[in-house]
Structure 1
Amino acid sequence: MTSDFKIVEEAKKPLSMHPKKFGMWLFMITVVMIFASLTSAYIVRQAEGNWVVFELPTLLWITSGIILLSSATMHWTYLSAKSDELENVKLGIGITLALGVAFLLGQVYAWGDLVDNNVFFVGNPSGSFLYVLTGLHGLHLVSGIIFLIIVLISTFKYRVHSKNLAQIQMCATYWHFLGGLWIYLFVFLLLNH
């Protein structure tokens, strides 16, 4: 008795991702490229000379702590959503939102400290780069705050829960990304000012 064996490959499951998550990841890659080019330009321009060295405002240490704390509250919020603790989700988003606003206010006050120390946007490139890097990050943080508000509204409408986590996952990912981006920028500025 002869058996004919046919080798059949099993169909591979295609890689798939929620289209909005894919768009968000593309956006974050674009932001990384923008900041990578700005920090590269910073290093190149610094090497050319005529670079004023100044102390970074102490307030930037405090805002760095605030952004790290907000990342922790965002993670707690996500875990609460996974376990359907909707009151904790509302509280967590509210705390993260308040910390995000506190971070932005701290950055504005840090700019005031720079002005008090005669470091201006116009003038020496060292100050210009600092304002551009922190200002551009602040602009992205504003978009993160808007995203938090959208998720908070969705939570009040009971659209965020353990069976519908896409929106809060995206918000948490973006918020952690913004926190990580700030830590990168802050360490970069500490090492290169």
Structure 2
Amino acid sequence: MITGLAARYRDYRLFHTDIAAQPSVDPTRIVIAGASAGGLAAALAIRARDTGPVQPILQLLLYPMLDDRPAPTTGPYRVWGPRSNAFAWNSYLHGTAPALAVPARHHDLNALAPAWIAVGTHDILYRQDLDYHHALTAAGTPSTLTTLDGAFHGFDTIAPRTALARRLRAWFYRLSVTSLIGECWRRSGSGDVRIGEF
């Protein structure tokens, strides 16, 4: 049975073989994205860099789980707390060595696809997402952190009609669907963006 990162990388390679080979698909413009389990997308970007041959041009990571190690918490947190986080990591790793599957445990974050990370200030993952953003930029990988003031984990699915959720979706879709995404990202570079109030 293939689980976790190995299964997702297999699916990613199959996508490249079956879908990206279609005449209407440009294999040099593949974006990987994820929400909450966006940490899996981040791990996939590292795996793709190390083993090839498929290289994404961008990582879109929405409040991603990036570190399996328990973090100091000040809670309480809405929707997603320490117990939920621990259960998710145990289910995902399923015996896999954390050094291979947990993005925050990787020491070499150079030459990865540029990243966009968005996370709320009331999210239990806020600190680890902030730390990962800084680790990427320190390694020379372009990364932009979008801080969502007052937002909790998964707020955009629970309160999708709020102004902040609408702005977040617009931002996400603009980055993911524009045909000029590569050029736009190269011009934007790294940085920090703060939007909101929830």
Give TM-score scaled by structure 1 length: 0.22
- Structure 1 or 2, whichever has the larger Rg, is 1
Larger strand fraction of residues:
2
The two structures have a TM-score, normalised by structure 2, of: 0.22
